[in-house]
Amino acid sequence: MMDARRLFPVDQVVLREVGLRDGLQLTRHYPTTQQKLDWLSREYRAGVRHFEVGSFLPSTRFPQFADLRVLIDATSRLDGAYSTALTLNERGVADALETQVDEMIFVVSATESHSMANTRRSRAEAIEMLARIDAQRRAGRSDLPVLTAGIAMSFGCSLEGEVNPRDVIDISERAIKAGADVLAIADTVGFGGPAQVAWMVRELRRALGDDQPIAMHFHDTRGLALANCAAALDNGIRVLDGCLGGLGGCPFAPGATGNTVFEDMVFLCKTMGLQTNIDIDGLLAARKVVAASMPDEPLHGALARAGLPKVLEDA
Amino acid sequence: MMDARRLFPVDQVVLREVGLRDGLQLTRHYPTTQQKLDWLSREYRAGVRHFEVGSFLPSTRFPQFADLRVLIDATSRLDGAYSTALTLNERGVADALETQVDEMIFVVSATESHSMANTRRSRAEAIEMLARIDAQRRAGRSDLPVLTAGIAMSFGCSLEGEVNPRDVIDISERAIKAGADVLAIADTVGFGGPAQVAWMVRELRRALGDDQPIAMHFHDTRGLALANCAAALDNGIRVLDGCLGGLGGCPFAPGATGNTVFEDMVFLCKTMGLQTNIDIDGLLAARKVVAASMPDEPLHGALARAGLPKVLEDA
């Protein structure tokens, strides 16, 4: 296993901006490359260091990610910044290995139905592909990118409804055995609540050890993203995904809110006394750039409406 | 001390609808009496049993609460339902004692500045008034209404910024000594986060005993209401305030979200395995009535946009 701790140091809260990938997955409009670069550099100046910037998919079908290589290059020129991209098959990995991307995410579903419906692969076949991808990266680039297994539908499934949390632990263990360095546990459809998150984190850490880097990826579909983040942080998770303005809806709930609102997540960390090195005012300024680049997309988030509390304003 | 456990039984989650009071405190428009009664009865049918229905204030200045007595009467005719009203001075208490109201809330500020600015009374004077109100209710009605001390600005103050949490414990203890049966700890301006809530609940229970009924009242001003509810529930709190559609803004943050969204709070409890006896579909239907009665007031809430997850739909 490569040292994923370079990207995700122990005991340092890492808030990862996934808007340039997950936030644009479903939007009808998307920013120009120049607007994306502006978004990236403004958030970087506000202190953000981890960016999911796209998905290695055919640009004919996913034009919103056609400039992915430009964004990876731009990120690699920012001191201390890291880029992440989805690589959903060997073709995507081959493309990724020709770039300086720091982290590749391969997605495995927690449920068999979603795995088959989404990728026409069983979960077992997905784990086999993950092992091949691990071998592929080792053959392909001397400075290995981190390989992360994203576990989709970890707290509920759009097809199966309830998900057995033991299945999530099981597939997570298999993903690590197959070669993943990092886990990203995703509540893809926003079904989960904080008690389930707390249980999951404790069981994952028991199964895989406290050394295992684990990211949590929540959606605010049913309003519990920040409660889930708090539960994850309380139980030792230090890597959380979010998106400025909470872009990124849910394909199964039209009109629903999207990813955890990034700026509100930073505020949550501040109230918990956790250092993020991220400046909320800088984020709110960056948010305006995102809004201007996609005027038809509704942005979410409480802090943008209410402003910072007096406590932090004075700080 | 009267037995406040009649209203707030140990180990039963009580979600109190405060929309008819706190939700209407700041709105430019408010429902007609008939619309309020419809709101009340629909939520009652969905399983809600605790309603804050208004404030005993001069109806010339607060016309939205002019029909308070009608709502108290209506609540008293609903089997197992309880009404609560604010009584901010002896005049209000005298008026309340002529009704069948089940609970009177007297508000004390956690900070001296807010106490003086809001009521022209010091905190010490407010506690003295609370003691007089306790005597007044004992002289005034044989079936004593519960007396609750609402502690405003408990997690941050619009005037002072940071609030010393020890001051909140201190004023809470003094309020109980002065005769209050119940505490309602309020994050009036939405400054608090879940770690502060957890600390506060643990310290309050340590100071006052696990038998002391304590309600928590959060505002979603900065997006943390549900995270704060989860932290409160995790630490043993069983009484939470909320409002259908999250009505009730913040006077210090124009445009901000209001009270904890009631229906999302019920969903949170369900994800935590806590029984509320409240039907979310019934709430969503009631919400439509509220929306229709105040077409210009923005309603908030994730569940109304996204719908129930498949897990609960099938249940």
Minimum distance, in Å, between the CA of residue B205 and any CA atom of chain A = 21
Best of A13, A189, A271, A300 to substitute, by most chain B Cβ atoms within 10 angstroms, is: A271
Contact criterion met (CB < 8 Å) for A223 and B264: yes
Give the DSSP H/E element, type plus range, for residue A287: helix A280-293
| C-alpha torsion sign, points A54, A58, A60, A61 | negative
Of the listed ranges A61-75, A177-191, A198-212, A299-313, the one predicted with least confidence: A299-313
Which residue of B189, B229, B231 is in closest CB contact with A309? B189
**A187 in contact with B at a CB cutoff of 8 Å?**
no
**Which residues of A fall within a CB distance of 8 Å from B253?**
305-307
Give the residue-averaged pLDDT of B33-45.
98
- Beta-carbon contacts of B46 under 8 Å, excluding residues fewer than 6 positions away, are B278, B279, B280, B281, B282, B283, B285, B286
| Residue A142 in this model has a pLDDT that exceeds 90 | no
| Residue B312 in this model has a pLDDT that exceeds 70 | no
Contact criterion met (CB < 8 Å) for A223 and B253: no
Locate the chain B residue with the closest alpha carbon to A301: B223
Of the listed ranges A124-138, A250-264, B103-117, the one predicted with least confidence: A250-264
**Rg, Å, chain B Cα set:** 18
Contact criterion met (CB < 8 Å) for A224 and B264: yes
Percent of chain A with pLDDT over 70: 97
pLDDT of residue B313: 61
Distance (Å, whole) CA A100 – CA A93: 12
B25 against A94, higher pLDDT? A94
| Residue B57 in this model has a pLDDT that exceeds 80 | yes
**A77 in contact with B at a CB cutoff of 8 Å?**
no
Minimum distance, in Å, between the CA of residue B271 and any CA atom of chain A = 5
Mean pLDDT of chain B: 94
Give the residue-averaged pLDDT of B50-67.
96
pLDDT confidence band for A311 (50 / 70 / 90): low
Which ranges in chain B are annotated with CATH 3.20.20.70? 102-240
- Phi–psi pair at B95, nearest 5 degrees: -65, -45
**A115 in contact with B at a CB cutoff of 8 Å?**
no
3-state secondary structure chain B: CCCHHHCCCCCCCEEEECCCCHHHCCCCCCCCHHHHHHHHHHHHHCCCCEEEEEECCCCCCCHHHCCHHHHHHHHHCCCCCEEEEECCCHHHHHHHHCCCCCEEEEEEECCHHHHHHHHCCCHHHHHHHHHHHHHHHHHHCCCCCEEEEEEECECEECCCECCCHHHHHHHHHHHHHCCCCEEEEECCCCCCCHHHHHHHHHHHHHHHCCCCCEEEECECCCCCHHHHHHHHHHCCCCEEEEEHHHCCCECCECCCCCECEHHHHHHHHHHCCCCCCCCHHHHHHHHHHHHHHCCCCCCCCCHHHHCCCHHHHCC
Beta bridge partners of B17: B51, B242
**B192 in contact with A at a CB cutoff of 8 Å?**
yes
pLDDT confidence band for B264 (50 / 70 / 90): very high
CATH topology classification for B102-240: TIM Barrel (3.20.20)
Distance (Å, whole) CA A223 – CA A256: 10
Q: Could you read off the pLDDT of B115-166 as tens digits, one per residue?
A: 999 999 999 999 999 999 999 999 988 899 999 999 999 999 989 999 999 9
Q: Could you read off the pLDDT of B190-204 as tens digits, one per residue?
A: 999 999 999 999 999
Inter-chain contacts counted by CB atoms under 8 A, chains A and B: 161
**A303 in contact with B at a CB cutoff of 8 Å?**
yes
Best of B114, B218, B224, B240 to substitute, by most chain A Cβ atoms within 10 angstroms, is: B224
Best of A222, A244, A303 to substitute, by most chain B Cβ atoms within 10 angstroms, is: A222
- Beta-carbon contacts of B125 under 8 Å, excluding residues fewer than 6 positions away, are none
Locate the chain A residue with the closest alpha carbon to B164: A311
DSSP state of A155: T
Of the listed ranges A24-33, A84-93, A157-166, B66-75, the one predicted with least confidence: A24-33
pLDDT confidence band for B315 (50 / 70 / 90): very low
Positions of B marked catalytic: 250
pLDDT confidence band for A48 (50 / 70 / 90): very high
pLDDT of residue A1: 45
Distance (Å, whole) CA A21 – CA A53: 5
Minimum distance, in Å, between the CA of residue B193 and any CA atom of chain A = 5
Contact criterion met (CB < 8 Å) for B268 and A193: yes
Task: Answer whether B207's CB lies under 8 Å from B161's CB.
Answer: no
Q: Which of residues 155-184 of B touch A (CB under 8 A)?
A: 156-162
**A39 in contact with B at a CB cutoff of 8 Å?**
no
Contact criterion met (CB < 8 Å) for A229 and B227: yes
Mean pLDDT of chain A: 94
**A267 in contact with B at a CB cutoff of 8 Å?**
yes
**Which residues of B fall within a CB distance of 8 Å from A158?**
310
**Which residues of A fall within a CB distance of 8 Å from B230?**
193-195, 227, 230-231
pLDDT of residue B1: 45
Minimum distance, in Å, between the CA of residue A252 and any CA atom of chain B = 9
Q: Which of residues 215-244 of A touch B (CB under 8 A)?
A: 220-224, 226-227, 229-231, 234
pLDDT of residue B161: 92
Minimum distance, in Å, between the CA of residue A110 and any CA atom of chain B = 15
| Residue A314 in this model has a pLDDT that exceeds 60 | no
Task: Answer whether A189's CB lies under 8 Å from A225's CB.
Answer: no
User: May I ask the CATH class of domain A4-313?
Assistant: alpha beta
The one-letter code for the residue type at B9 is P
pLDDT confidence band for A312 (50 / 70 / 90): low
Distance (Å, whole) CA A178 – CA A110: 16
pLDDT confidence band for B73 (50 / 70 / 90): very high
Best of B275, B310, B314 to substitute, by most chain A Cβ atoms within 10 angstroms, is: B310
**B275 in contact with A at a CB cutoff of 8 Å?**
no
Task: Answer whether A36's CB lies under 8 Å from A64's CB.
Answer: no
